[in-house]
Structure 1
């Protein structure tokens, strides 16, 4: 099973929940949802066990989020097209032009490096690596959505060309 398929299975994404996951509100609240989880981890010495409540709430929200919003049947916004492109890519990597695959691999590596730096900063309670690592993860996620938009739009062009011939 591919990584994208495994992630979709983890969040229980079937066709309907992919459409809900594509809702722009879902995308942006998910993107913003990491900071409220990280802040109580960083301030755990000050907050003590009270840090567990916002961390748990944030983790639960991230799990519920892909199912919480109205489904999108026809993507119009950048975020919606990105998630539809991600769904296409998760179903069949060959749908992505060869040029997108190395970029996606590099972006995943960038996110992994950012996550490692972020965890280091959180463990050591050092702000600059925690924030820098979070920023790398955030930017890589936005860039991945952008690549998935391109994959979605190329898929539409291919489908239109197929129906015209």
Structure 2
């Protein structure tokens, strides 16, 4: 099982949870997760072993976040389409996607994985520069990956009616 699929399974990402996670507020508030985890780990300097409490809270946030917000009424925004694209990406075995999206996705995920090395080093050895560099690089590659997922979703929703059905227009606009 691949890391993304394992993560999805561990997170309990049912279709209902994915729909709620498509709320732009879920996506944008989740961007803060990596720095929260870093702060939680670094808190061991001040609170010692009690740092497991903020770390547990940060990890709990990762699990609660996709469930916290209601399903969006309007899905025509960048973050929501990025979340839709992630679903398409994870479903690429059942519904093949264009090769250029696969290549870009693997490159960006690879870069993010490489950036995890200084991030983890910084967390373990309390190296601020490594932690900040890793955090920024992971976040930039994740946002770039998300931008590619918007592109992927826009391409695939025209080919797959199930994907197209995820789009909802704002009722006040229409």
- CA offset at residue 88 of structure 1? 1.5
Aligned to 1:154: 155
- CA offset at residue 120 of structure 1? 0.5
When residues 73 and 5 of structure 1 are mapped into structure 2, their CA distance, relative to the original with a 3 A threshold, is farther
Mean Cα deviation higher: 25-34 or 70-79: 70-79
Distance 1:110 1:104 in 2: 10
Contact 1:95 1:155 in 2 (8 A): no
Counterpart check, 1:136 vs 2:137: yes
Aligned to 2:56: 56
Aligned to 1:36: 36
Q: Deviations over 1:42-88 (max 9, x none)?
A: 24122223322211111111111111111136521100001111112
Distance 2:3 2:22 in 1: 19
Alignment of 1:84-103 (within 5 A): 84-93=84-93, 95-103=96-104
Distance 1:60 1:100 in 2: 31
Distance 1:25 1:39 in 2: 22
After TM superposition, the runs of 4+ consecutive aligned structure 1 residues lying more than 4 A away are: none
When residues 74 and 14 of structure 1 are mapped into structure 2, their CA distance, relative to the original with a 3 A threshold, is farther
Distance 1:139 1:73 in 2: 28
Give me the CA root mean square deviation.
1.8
Q: Deviations over 1:126-153 (max 9, x none)?
A: 1111100111110111011111101110
Aligned to 2:107: 106
| 3-state SS, counterpart of residue 158 of structure 1 | coil
Contact 2:40 2:58 in 1 (8 A): no
Q: Which has the higher helix share?
A: 1
Unaligned runs of 5+ in 1: 161-165
Distance 1:3 1:122 in 2: 21
Distance 2:127 2:3 in 1: 31
Unaligned runs of 5+ in 2: 162-174
Distance 2:5 2:73 in 1: 21
Q: How many residues align?
A: 160
Distance 1:104 1:85 in 2: 11
